[in-house]
Structure 1
Amino acid sequence: MISFRKRTVMVPLSVAALLALGLPQASAQGLFDVLFGGVPRNGQKLKGEFPPPPQAKKKAPAPITRISSPTYNKYKADSLVSVDFKALAGASQAAPAPTDSPAAQNAAFQPAEEKTDTAPENDAFRQALDGLADYELLAERDIAKALTTYYVAHPSFLWVSDAAVNANASEALKVLGEAGTYGLNPLDYTVDVPPAEVVGVDATERQKQLIRFEMALSARVLRYVRDAQNGRIDPNRISAYYDFPAKPLDLQGVLNTLAHTHEVRTYLESRHPQNPEYQALRVELEALEASAENEIVVDPKLLLKPGETSTELPKLLTLIGRDLADEAGGDYSEVLLKFGASDTYVPELVPVIEAAQKKAGLKPDGVVGPRTVAALAGNSKADRLAKVQYALEELRWLPSDLGSTRVFINQPAFTASYIEGGEEKLKTRAVIGRVTNQTSFFYDEIEQVDYNPYWGVPQSIIVNEMLPRLRSDPGYLDRSGYEVTNAQGKRVPSSAIDWSQYGSKVPFSVRQAPSEANALGELKILFPNKHAIYMHDTPQKSFFQRDNRALSHGCVRLQDPRGMAAAVLGTSVDYVADKLKKGHSSEKVTRKIPVYVAYFTAWPDKSGKIEYFADVYDRDARLKEAIAATESVRLPAT
């Protein structure tokens, strides 16, 4: 008897005898044929038959979903709201500003004898409130709220005395009218001023004029202060490439300070950035507005290679001829005389262009591009004006005091500088992110220097660049000196992983061990941030010889990393070299050193002269759109 599925089956003796004598090995189906008399001819399975073991299906590879870089958004400016003057109907007796408010603590603008809200002024203000009944004043939401909150607590005029516009108001109006000297639009701060003469105007109408002027001027002063301190736009709305913390601003405190000082101009101007770079840009703006347009203007986006044709070429050759006249002109005067009016970039002109490029400090490759045009022909007046105005706006996103000791990376200039005591001690060439992997615009604080560093490969590079190859060659990371670890931190051979099952989020970390081939070179300088951007060395030294150095995945590569490391550590290059000989290690930066990963197409050099750079990421164009969107809200077409 054979036990089968807990049933007892009687086996014929002859079969049992065959089994005992050693029946030749048969298939499972053959055994069923012997035991149960074969399979019916119609192909139906016998009751109780074992199904064949399931065949494992090979999973289809997961589709690779690329990790994309940040995008640029259509800028949306805050809409304006009507100021709710109904809240002022029950304005209470004047209440002093809290003693712990920023305004109350702003001693620089507090005269010895503070002005107080006197009863007669309160009475005049309350009597004029009816003039706001049908008055519509549009303002930004936070300004509208601050306006009513302040005047409920302080029902008194700031800008009116004895039924007339007072001296503080006149000074404030002058400052608002000069907004253009800071690269702002004076129309954003326009206020209708009531006439000084009151002949023929009854008291009620005069009160209406004055109360409306009071509210309008306060609203526009608050807008001016906010724009001066924080900028007209919120850069973080343009793209995730921008990353700036909010700058706190006590709008009620601003009005309280203005109510208790006669230094109105000084206070309002103090809201702008207080650094030499901002002042140098203002000086340049004034000089540009007073200057004439360039006599010869060359298309700043010109791209011309030997053999190609452009009507811009003769303009450029004219400028080159003037510039080379005092030095190399004798060598090329005959060529310029013969081909100076040609629209075709003939081979004879290539040495002329190369000589001009070399003199301008550019790579003499003979290709006429935007950087060559900018260096040889300069920018048009309109272009320079715009770049300076954009730079003034961008400086308002940064701290007013940049710090006497700092690192400043200017992406369009492809440079990184170390400034100490306000003086530039080191300036080195830099490589920044490609247009498809742009370097962000933000600021942080330097924390650490890593010698002979490991390179932790970003997830975007693992997915976008490594994963496609790993599917066909899973062991290439092992062969190339990379270490792979799982979520628990355990080392895993790259060749042991089925990379085809991952398409977007790879649950492994990959890092490259220190070596001459390491992507970070011999050291990196860290300022931890969510963008995973830092400064570092690179084995690709040839990149520093290029004029356009937007070539990395987003981090900033330095031509002189040892010099920068020594500078931030406050030590010598020899010390850094000695540390590098000892293998992998890290060293904390003990001083507070801010680092600005910035983007300015106009920026002063160490002498204060403004230099202009190409807009490598087209961010000036994005800023122009954002400013236009803001102005369209503030000054809607009627």
Structure 2
Amino acid sequence: MTPTSRMTIVPALILGSLIGAAPPAHAENLFKMLFGGGIQQREARERRAEEQRPQAAPAPAPVARISAPSYRTYKADRLVPVSFKALLEAPRTVSFEPSLDGASFAEALAGLDGYELAAEKPVARAIEAHYLAHDDFIWVSGTSVNTRAVEAMRVLGEAGSYGLDPADYAVRPPSPGFDMTDMPARHRDLIRFEMALSARVLRYVRDAFGGRIDPNRISGYYDFPEKPLDLEAVLATLSRTRDVRPYLESRHPQNERYQALRAELEVLRASRENDIVVDARLFLKPGGSSPELPKLLQLFARETDDAFRAEHGAVLAANAATEAYGPELVAVVKAAQAFKGLSADGIVGPRTVAAFAGVSKADRIAKVEIALEQLRWHPSDLGSPRVFINQPAYTATYNEGGEDRLSMRVVVGKVSNQTSFFFDEIEQIDYNPYWGVPQSILVNEMLPRLRQDPGYLDRSGYEITDAKGRRISSSSINWYQYGGKVPYSVRQTPSEANALGELKILFPNKHAIYMHDTPSKSLFQRDVRAFSHGCVRLSDPRAMAAAVLGKPVEHVADKIRQGHSTEKVTRKIPVYVAYFTAWPDQSGKVEYFDDVYDRDSRLLKALEATAEVRAPTS
């Protein structure tokens, strides 16, 4: 055996004796001590490789877009039968001797047996309660209808002058002549007339006071509080007063705009259909010519006012027959466009034509009737001071003491992000405001970009906070895990790039709509100004803020220079975020506007649904 062989065998023998003598666990540890270095390193390398191997990313949460309110098929309340059971069963002392002087209420009650009368549920309940508590007629005296009933029926018959349908309130009175020997039949006719007229008078009062439909059923874009009306008190008042006409007419809105719309309706119905028809596709630039131009110039003279005619009448008269759009007419066209609230660019296009000739008599009547209905949803007294935003006109007006002290152009919501229709009260002004990003914009517009560029908000001047108010970096969030709702608050800090500009005017509401400044000034020069996400952008926000505060514009400018701050509005100032395609100016002249959101047609369908429910009633 060579020395080398002995050297190899000895450690092996030693190892074998040690392994054989040691418990299994100790043997394993010893094995690792002698030979395990390489194995351990290999295992560690494998573990590291496994940890570093790319893991399959969890599937991103699908983006569930937050949808805007939808429009619904309007469902009118069904009519219910007026129940006379309690009235008929109430204990009374009744004379069974025939009376020639007239019917007592108690004597006539038997005529209600088997009588079917349908009415709106509040109307039916008011009739049941009133006559159960008052054993007397309102509309009958002796054996005939009384003067109170005659006056009431006259008012109901004139409902069309308010844009209402007289057929909804029609009641046939008993014949003046009757068989004196058949008094029970006369009593029956009188008591049934009494109930029918009360039902139709109450319907009229409800319609005049709050409108024929519930606008909130049309869409979530409508948000009007219920106008409480005590119909039992109405009957009680009518049973006492002889001034029936003034009382019934007082149930309508008592403001100058409602009266102006009613006057416009009367004029329209008495007028002829449009006698001047201009091609709706007309497009004419200075230097061009068209046989439609003389007709349009004639409309400029007729559809403006005395001030316009005084300034431009001579030019209009001198060019009355011309088809050439020469330089002398450019100023006239621009003035006419400005008169209608259009961009005064001097180019005659479809919007200029529509402003002067595009609305037929029938369309105008429909717009006025719709406007009257919509005003009935509002307070009777609109208030002073007040701010009135008319979305189809793209204008905001500050009115005080019955005068429009300030009016400006506005930008309203896109068709996909419509501005709601409601009223509220202004509370405060925020200077150099933060912009709290709504969930709809965060999910629908920002989330797709944040998935590709998580640091986008950090670089763009936004602050992100979690539910506990802790600031978080945008880049640290895994935006892929969120779809329909993001559990963070995002706001843009004050800056020149801030979406709200220098200030915002708040009237807190569930729609998160307010008036504000904007860095996108060029949009105010467009005729159609539906570009926002729903809020109302003001062309002159400083002037509006100063108006509602009752302070000079310099005060507002000084507050802006001082940085971010808030100022409370100490006066009661209602704000109407309204939608009227026909609306009077303060002089009473009604202007007509395009139905940018197609809301008029939906309201007409709601009115038709209501008319269908009422049609079968007696």
Aligned to 1:342: none
* Aligned with residue 495 of structure 2, among 515, 521, 537: 515
Aligned to 1:562: 542
Pair 356,18 (structure 1): closer, same or farther in 2 beyond 3 Å: same
C-alpha distance in 2, partners of 1:492/1:331?
71
* Aligned with residue 543 of structure 1, among 503, 517, 523: 523
* Aligned with residue 10 of structure 1, among 24, 49, 59: 24
* Aligned with residue 25 of structure 1, among 38, 54, 70: 38
Aligned to 1:396: 376
> Is 1:426 aligned with 2:406?
yes
Aligned to 1:272: 252
Aligned to 1:238: 218
Aligned to 1:86: 85
1:262-310 superposed Cα distances (whole Å, 9 cap, x missing partner): 11111101100011111111111111111111102458xx466689xxx
Aligned to 1:126: 106
Aligned to 1:318: 295
Aligned to 2:7: none
Q: Which moved more, 1:195-204 or 1:288-297?
A: 195-204
Q: Which amino acid aligns with 1:589?
A: V
Q: How far did residue 122 of structure 1 move?
A: 11
* Aligned with residue 499 of structure 1, among 479, 487, 495: 479
C-alpha distance in 1, partners of 2:251/2:509?
28
Unaligned runs of 5+ in 2: 1-14, 16-21, 45-49, 94-98, 302-311
* Aligned with residue 227 of structure 2, among 247, 260, 263: 247
**1:221-620 map, 5 Å:** 221-298=201-278, 302=280, 318-320=295-297, 323=300, 326=313, 336=323, 356=333, 359-361=336-338, 362-363=342-343, 371-620=351-600
Q: How far did residue 636 of structure 1 move?
A: 3.9
**1:94-113 map, 5 Å:** none
C-alpha distance in 2, partners of 1:466/1:130?
72
SS of the aligned residue for 2:38 comes to coil
Aligned to 2:60: 61
Aligned to 2:6: none
Q: Which amino acid aligns with 2:88?
A: A
Pair 157,30 (structure 1): closer, same or farther in 2 beyond 3 Å: closer
TM-score between the two structures when normalised by the length of structure 1: 0.83
Structure 1 contact 445–594 (Cα < 8 Å) conserved: yes
SS of the aligned residue for 2:39 comes to coil
Structure 2 contact 425–507 (Cα < 8 Å) conserved: yes
SS of the aligned residue for 2:168 comes to helix
C-alpha distance in 2, partners of 1:446/1:256?
38
C-alpha distance in 1, partners of 2:315/2:484?
58
C-alpha distance in 2, partners of 1:510/1:304?
48
Unaligned runs of 5+ in 1: 2-7, 32-51, 95-118, 308-312, 338-347
SS of the aligned residue for 1:26 comes to helix
Pair 147,370 (structure 1): closer, same or farther in 2 beyond 3 Å: farther
Aligned to 1:206: 186
C-alpha distance in 2, partners of 1:427/1:271?
30
Structure 2 contact 278–295 (Cα < 8 Å) conserved: no
C-alpha distance in 1, partners of 2:23/2:181?
122
SS of the aligned residue for 1:25 comes to helix
C-alpha distance in 2, partners of 1:156/1:322?
60
Pair 589,266 (structure 1): closer, same or farther in 2 beyond 3 Å: same
Structure 2 contact 293–322 (Cα < 8 Å) conserved: no
C-alpha distance in 2, partners of 1:235/1:402?
18
Structure 1 contact 90–152 (Cα < 8 Å) conserved: no
Structure 2 contact 222–420 (Cα < 8 Å) conserved: yes
- Pairwise CA RMSD: 3.1
Q: How far did residue 563 of structure 1 move?
A: 0.6
SS of the aligned residue for 2:392 comes to helix
Q: How far did residue 135 of structure 1 move?
A: 1.5
C-alpha distance in 2, partners of 1:331/1:518?
52
C-alpha distance in 1, partners of 2:430/2:215?
32
Structure 1 contact 356–376 (Cα < 8 Å) conserved: no
**1:44-55 map, 5 Å:** none
Structure 1 contact 303–368 (Cα < 8 Å) conserved: no
Pair 18,121 (structure 1): closer, same or farther in 2 beyond 3 Å: farther
Structure 1 contact 447–526 (Cα < 8 Å) conserved: yes
Q: How far did residue 203 of structure 1 move?
A: 0.6
C-alpha distance in 2, partners of 1:318/1:25?
101
Structure 2 contact 103–143 (Cα < 8 Å) conserved: no
Pair 254,30 (structure 1): closer, same or farther in 2 beyond 3 Å: closer
Pair 503,167 (structure 1): closer, same or farther in 2 beyond 3 Å: same
C-alpha distance in 2, partners of 1:608/1:333?
29
SS of the aligned residue for 1:628 comes to helix
> Is 1:623 aligned with 2:603?
yes
1:44-65 superposed Cα distances (whole Å, 9 cap, x missing partner): xxxxxxxx88985421110001
Pair 353,203 (structure 1): closer, same or farther in 2 beyond 3 Å: farther
Structure 1 contact 92–152 (Cα < 8 Å) conserved: no
Aligned to 2:96: none
Q: How far did residue 88 of structure 1 move?
A: 1.2
Q: How far did residue 424 of structure 1 move?
A: 1.2
Q: How far did residue 152 of structure 1 move?
A: 0.8
Q: Which amino acid aligns with 2:433?
A: P
Aligned to 1:110: none
Structure 1 contact 281–604 (Cα < 8 Å) conserved: yes
Pair 317,636 (structure 1): closer, same or farther in 2 beyond 3 Å: farther
Structure 1 contact 442–596 (Cα < 8 Å) conserved: yes
C-alpha distance in 2, partners of 1:367/1:637?
54
Q: How far did residue 322 of structure 1 move?
A: 6.4
C-alpha distance in 1, partners of 2:29/2:246?
114
Structure 2 contact 292–323 (Cα < 8 Å) conserved: no
Pair 368,509 (structure 1): closer, same or farther in 2 beyond 3 Å: farther
Q: How far did residue 121 of structure 1 move?
A: 11
SS of the aligned residue for 1:336 comes to coil
Q: How far did residue 377 of structure 1 move?
A: 1.6
SS of the aligned residue for 1:503 comes to coil
1:510-529 superposed Cα distances (whole Å, 9 cap, x missing partner): 10111111100100000000
Q: Which amino acid aligns with 1:25?
A: G
C-alpha distance in 1, partners of 2:293/2:91?
70
Structure 1 contact 93–153 (Cα < 8 Å) conserved: no
SS of the aligned residue for 2:219 comes to coil
Count matched residues: 570
C-alpha distance in 1, partners of 2:41/2:107?
108
Q: How far did residue 602 of structure 1 move?
A: 1.0
C-alpha distance in 2, partners of 1:93/1:120?
21
Matched-pair identity in % = 61
Structure 1 contact 455–518 (Cα < 8 Å) conserved: yes
